[in-house]
Amino acid sequence: MTGALLLVLQALIYFVTMAAIFHSRHRFGIGIFVCVLGVMHFLETYLAAVFFVQLPFGLISPGSTVMFSGKLLMFLLLYIKEDAETVRQPIYGLLIGNCLMVALALILRLYGDVAEMPGYQPDLTFLDDMGVLMVWGTALLFLDSIALILIYEKLGQRIANTLFKRIFLSAALVLTFDQLMFFLGLHLVSGVPISALYGGWIAKMAAAALYSAMLVIYLRYVETRPALAGPEPLLKVFDRLTFRHRYEDLLEKTGKDTLTGTSDRGHFEAVAQSLIDRPLADRKPVSMLMIDIDHFKSINDQYGHVTGDKVLKDVARALDGALRSGDRLFRYGGEEFVAICQDLNAGDATILAERLRAAVASMTLAEPGLSTTVSIGVTTARSGPVSVEQMIRDADTWLYRAKRLGRNRVESPVIA
């Protein structure tokens, strides 16, 4: 197997596995995803230091090119689909955990009379070198992850007008910085030749392109669809054994729209203002999406209200599957839905709304030959105080504009 093919195969296996684990977070929790990232950190640092593949354009390390680049893109995926509060946890965890590991290893160096083992002696020089590289690499990971998210946020539609371009440019800039800085530490510690610098940079740019393409495909075709309910896992038995779970389940059902399963209008009126006030108090943006099913009355008239109810359910599932896990979806009335998205600026809210529109347009309905679309109006508040009524009026204005311009489209101040 050629070196290039080996790296591509590794990247494909890495991304598919990590994406599958991430997609299962709603069933098993996000902890599994975070633990897998952490477990591989030592191995990727070790491979980045000692394992190289010779390609025509230089020395390539799978640990750096495939695993580290993939980890950065996984952090970006976590940020896009969750929030900054969630993504900072594994970043801080890796930084603290590696510093603790090195500190404990240094304490062991104080013990001079290490027991001899047949055929093998502990390589303390290697331990020292790996300790330095682990701290240096983790510190860079900390800076890289923050920079990646900040650059991704700054690259609005006018600079990077497609999701692929936005992700790729963010990754390429951060990986360029990382390659320069990690090579500096690697060269000083291990004497790695200069060919690993430019060879690794070329490989990381290719990895950024490949991972960005796979991430876009995942966001558009996997996360837009709600996970199908399967048989109850054995671990659910423990949930049923606690009164707390039953109580929380009862609270979860309160305020639900009985037809679509989303939160209802009454629950929206009860919690919407606090959902808007909370991020604004922290100087973070909040966006509201008004979503209307196009020509819904004609669906009821032509196919009947039973089919119309099925369409409402299908649309609600598609919308819920395309939203981030922290976003809140409400059935506002009739064929209208409202989504409140905290910590989401105007550009990203427009991108999210387009993802919702595409999810509905591409879904398959139970009625043969029937399809439906939605029109979406987007508004964003950046500073408060802002009332729910004001945001609804603004979102409605953009929604009506979308309808006037032909329906099946998104309108927002960003587009205008």
Note the pLDDT of residue 98: 78
Confidence of residue 233 (pLDDT cuts 50, 70, 90): very low
Residue 241, pLDDT > 60, answer no
Closest CA to 88 of 103, 100, 76: 76
What are residue 349's phi and psi, to 5 degrees?
-65, -40
Q: 242: which residues sit within 8 A by CB, 6+ positions away?
A: none
Class for the domain spanning 256-411: alpha beta
Name the more confident of 118 and 64. Answer: 64
Q: What is the pLDDT of residues 257-277, one digit of tens each?
A: 889 989 999 889 989 999 999
Strand 328-333 relative to strand 374-381: parallel, antiparallel, unpaired? Answer: unpaired
User: Alpha-carbon distance 176 to 169, whole Å?
Assistant: 11
Q: What is the pLDDT of residues 31-83, one digit of tens each?
A: 898 898 888 877 787 787 778 888 888 888 888 889 989 999 999 998 888 76
Q: What is the pLDDT of residues 141-163, one digit of tens each?
A: 888 888 888 888 888 655 667 88
Overall fold of domain 3-110+122-221 = Arp2/3 complex 21 kDa subunit ARPC3 (1.10.1760)
Q: ∠ CA 20-360-75 to the nearest 5 degrees?
A: 35
Locate the domains of the chain by residue range. Answer: 3-110+122-221, 256-411
Note the pLDDT of residue 242: 42
Residue 239, pLDDT > 70, answer no
User: Alpha-carbon distance 333 to 9, whole Å?
Assistant: 49
Contact 216, 168 (CB under 8 A): no
How confident is the model over 304-314, as a mean pLDDT?
A: 91
User: Alpha-carbon distance 13 to 3, whole Å?
Assistant: 16
**Which element (helix H / strand E) includes 195?**
helix 195-221
What are residue 12's phi and psi, to 5 degrees?
-65, -45
Residue 227, pLDDT > 80, answer no
Contact 156, 347 (CB under 8 A): yes
Q: What is the pLDDT of residues 207-218, one digit of tens each?
A: 999 999 999 999
Neighbours of 393 (CB within 10 A): 12
**Which element (helix H / strand E) includes 74?**
helix 69-81
